[in-house]
Structure 1
Amino acid sequence: MGDTPTRETPSADAPLSVVLGNHPHTRPLKDGTVPVDGVDCHYPEFSPLPPAFARMVRHLAYDICEMPMATYLQARDVGVPVTLLPVVLVGSTHHRSLTRLPDGPDLDPRELAGRRVGVRSYGQTTGLWVRGWLQEEYGVKSSDVTWVTTEDVHVSQYTDPPYVERSDSERVADLLRGGDVSAAVLGPKAIGGQGAGLVPLVKDAEQAGQAWIERHGTVPANHLLVVRDDVLRTRQDDVRAVYRALEEAIMSTADERDDSPAGRAVTAGWSERLTACLEIAGQYALEQGLIGEPIDVAAIEEKAAFLER
């Protein structure tokens, strides 16, 4: 276990460093269309974005940061001092995220037990959701599969379980094309990039994803938003202003999102849907050994109650 990260708290008049991906609903903040009232914000750019997540949970490198669900749950589990803000920046269903070669074996998901499956890291949020529905719908537990990874988890204090193996390959899709794994978990961007030509292992993936939504009353969230606890203590009004601006930006760009799960996932504010999403993700994370203790969603919501004052 590593030490809990610390960093000097920024002075009250210093710009806030706010890491946000380039989404239609974050663009208004970055280009100034929606100003953050009374706060000077600096928006560091990252391409790709994941290295920023690791820097945030390992070094508290930024004041406010977009954060994957699984990374947040793991960071909270080991005591990284960050608070969740009720914003879903990216989300969708993930039955289509479990892929195979188009000319490969037509596997039933149940047949993955005893096989090898590629995933960027065991702590990747897409993998969290995929393993969740694999167990829930097909009875395949995380420990039934050997998970072959190409990257470490973002939270340095975490140690992968014994059924996780690290590959020298740089890309998950290459593991599949090279015959090292029977299936590969790919995030939304990777599906259209390195995963071009691959097909979902689940034949009716879109319908299965919709059935998951109807069953649980929520859409899986991938990326949320966190703030450093020390920044929240010393600059609460500024943090509230950033949240309010992002809330406005999400509302003002509503017509740019369709009625797909990805479009409906983007939200700001606490709701029964977000509470359910956190509860399910927490349950999945506990079952998969990503966290050691059950999460207390009520305590998470209470830490962010200042936003409503």
Structure 2
Amino acid sequence: MGGAQPAALDVLLGNYPHTRPLKDGTVPVDGVDCRYLESAPLPPAFARMVRELAYDICEMPMATYLQARDAGVPVTLLPVVLVGGTHHRSLTRLPDSPETGPGDLAGRRVGVRAYGQTTGLWVRGWLQEEYGVRSSDVTWVTTEDVHVAQYVNPPYVERSDAGRVVDLLRSHDVSAAVLGPKAIGGQGAGLVPLVADAENAGLAWAQRHGTIPANHLLVVRDDVLRTRPDAVLAFYRSLRKAIADTAGERDDSPAGRAVAAGWGTSLTACVEIAGRYALEQSLIAEPVDVAEAERKTAFLDS
């Protein structure tokens, strides 16, 4: 008779240097048959996870996790940052448009892919914190829906059929636009930040808060965490090893330093700040209990 079959996990991860060792088998997951599923682009997979619980373990944007948690979606945060970085350069304008500072945006229209996009969460956070412009002071013009189906946008959010966020700028429908890290070098090529010294402003934010904004984290379905904790632990340990093994492939920039595994003061502060920003921006209705999230997954680092 054959031996017991290994536990199986359906896992959705983006393709990064720190996930490659798992996907190519360089870092195996002992006793677990991990099926690494793909989604190109990634965002539709995030919606499938929070709407259909389509995967056992799934990469997930910070804002999507916070909204899913608020809506009662049965997923638990795992202490892994897959993508992060500062976002002061993410608020952009056309190079030939009138010079506009972040503090000038009250009463204006700003484009963003979705109101629940994580980059927008971080941008609106520092916009209020550093310039006194609240999210409700701006009309946010979106090109996509949020991932969490239960969420209803606040009244100061409009939907456009422009197609891409940069098209909102080029049609002069908005004064500025929020673009994520990939879009900055893609559709946003040639745009200029509203913050004059965006890189140093982002570094100052990180130093002040003792953390780096996380864009993409990791979640596990609650039923999987409850019934297959050993499989989750084995996967987490392997991903943590892959992150450590590829440290030399990341530079000392905020994006490079953001990638990490394990609860600590930085991740705790990051989730707490994101939760506060999300509450201020009406992305969620209830405060975030980070201690609860830490308790549920404390066994991973024990």
Who is 1:256 aligned against? 249
Alpha-carbon distance in 1 for matches of 2:6, 2:69: 28
Give the equivalent residue in structure 1 for 2:258.
265
Identify the residue that residue 170 of structure 1 maps to in structure 2.
163
Q: Partner letter of residue 33 of structure 1?
A: T
3-state SS of 1:15 partner: strand
> Which of 181, 194, 200 matches 1:207?
200
Structure 1 CA distance for aligned equivalents of residues 256 and 301 of structure 2: 25
Task: Say whether 1:277 aligns with 2:270.
Answer: yes
The residue number in structure 2 matching 1:59 is 52
**Overall identity of the aligned pairs, in %:** 80
1:113 corresponds to 2:106: yes
Contact 2:116 2:146 in 1 (8 A): yes
2:301 counterpart residue number:
308
Q: Give TM-score scaled by structure 1 length.
A: 0.95
Alignment counterpart, residue 245 of structure 1, candidates 228, 231, 238: 238
Q: Distance between the aligned counterparts of 2:193 and 2:297, measured in 1? A: 38
The aligned residue for residue 6 of structure 1 is none
Deviation string 1:134-157 (CA, Å, 9 cap, x unpaired) is: 000000000000000000000000
> Structure 2: where are the runs of 5+ without partners?
none
Displacement after TM superposition at 1:178 (Å): 1.0
Q: CA deviation at 1:46?
A: 1.0
Cross-structure match for 2:212: 219
Corresponding residue for residue 188 of structure 2: 195
Q: Which amino acid aligns with 1:250?
A: I
> TM-score by structure 2 length?
0.97
Partner of 1:158: 151
User: Distance between the aligned counterparts of 2:235 and 2:47, measured in 1?
Assistant: 22
Give 1:76's aligned residue.
Answer: 69
Q: CA deviation at 1:14?
A: 5.8
Secondary structure at the residue paired with 1:95?
coil
| In 1: Cα distance, 2:226 partner to 2:262 partner | 20
One-letter code aligned to 1:266: V
How many angstroms apart in 1 are the aligned matches of 2:117 and 2:180? 9
- Residue in structure 1 matched with residue 142 of structure 2 by the alignment: 149
d(CA) in 1 for partners of 2:69, 2:148: 10
Letter in 1 for 2:148: V
Unaligned runs of 5+ in 1: 1-11
How many residues align? The count is 298
1:7 maps to which residue?
none
> Residue 255 of structure 2 aligns to which amino acid in structure 1?
A
Question: What does residue 8 of structure 1 align with?
Answer: none
State the SS of the aligned residue for 1:276. helix
CA distance in 2, matches of 1:267, 1:306: 17
Cα distance in 1 for partners of 2:27, 2:167 equals 41
